[in-house]
Amino acid sequence: MKRNIKLLISFAALVMVFLFTGNSCKEEEYSMGNLVAPTDIVINTKIVGQDADNPNGDGSGVVEISVTAKDGISYKIGYSLVENITQTPVFENMPGGMATKKFTTLGEHTYRITLIAYGKGGVSSVATKDILVKSVFNPNPEIVTFLTGNSEKTWKVDKDSPGHFGVGPWEGSSTPEWWSASPGEKETCCNCFYTARFTFSQINATSFSMSVASPDGAFTKTGSLTSLPGIPASGDEGCYSYSGGSSAFSFIQASSQLPADLPSTQTSIVLDGNATYIGYGALQKEYEILEITENYMYLRVQGTETGNAWYLKMIPAN
């Protein structure tokens, strides 16, 4: 009996210790501190090749960008051509507050860099900086002749060719090693892919334009996976209402920087604005010319999904 009483007293004592020493079950209180929007934002830019004789760079159009900000945790960055400032920039993540941008509009143009700095809890601040950048590129005259016929030339997707559409890795490869379309594979779901026509025109020695006629719609994905106007916010890959469009385009040094041992002309077509596309309505507007002859063109464009490259085989539309 005395043993049982001692046990009960010991148990009661343990309960009292548990209740009064802070070991009881209670909610912990956490605090994020003050949600302060980033301040003192500084956008630093270095135009490659900039010196006393070349104040706007060496013509490569490459600008190295970094940012500092008090209370800044992460950043997004977008770019606009000031002469077309109504165009909404596409914002990209800026890991570590650093980015490299290649501006491709030929000549000397002012670009607006727009930076969004995020602090605790996602509070944000916006800063902008305008820079004047020089871009110079002289494509191989043969490429211009093959593409435009030195006047005007219309192209279409070569639906009868194996691999006329395909996908592979963006870096370190120039082949659609992940998937290639068989002849006519998209006819059932997306015949607009084959009926669309793309006309390239040479206006003068340095000016070019292109137009798209796609009576059956634009072959693309939806929502944030394309920049074409009027495309729905959701849906599968397919043909979507598109009234056609025209835009200027320019030639640039291909920005993919594929190894020298991989096939490429190292020249890209860059479409101006968001109203046009070639073959597939991608988010990006730079189409690298891997191969081109009078009767054949093989293009590569960065996919809308990170790390992907889409491939297109084109032939003249007779």
The separation between CA 218 and the C-alpha centre of its own chain, rounded to angstroms, equals 19
Walk along the chain (318 residues) and give the pLDDT tens digit of each residue.
Answer: 444 434 344 444 444 444 444 444 455 565 556 788 999 999 999 999 999 999 999 888 899 999 999 999 999 999 998 987 777 788 889 999 999 998 878 789 999 999 999 999 889 999 999 999 998 888 999 999 999 999 999 999 999 999 999 999 988 888 999 999 999 999 999 999 999 999 999 998 888 999 999 999 999 888 888 888 888 888 888 899 998 899 999 898 888 877 778 889 989 999 988 889 999 888 888 999 999 999 999 999 987 777 889 999 999 997
The pLDDT, as a whole number, for residue 179 is 95
Report the CATH number of the 141-316 domain: 2.40.128
Helices (H) then strands (E): counts for the chain: 4, 19
Looking at the chain, the domain(s) classified CATH 2.40.128 span 141-316
What's the angle, vertex CA 293, arms to CA 289 and CA 294, rounded to 5? 130
The pLDDT, as a whole number, for residue 33 is 65
DSSP class of 90: P
> How much of the chain is helix, strand and coil, in % rounded to 5?
15, 40, 45
Looking at the chain, the domain(s) classified CATH 2.60.40.10 span 39-135
CATH superfamily for 39-135 is: Immunoglobulins (2.60.40.10)
The pLDDT, as a whole number, for residue 75 is 96
Backbone φ and ψ of 223, nearest 5°: 60, -130
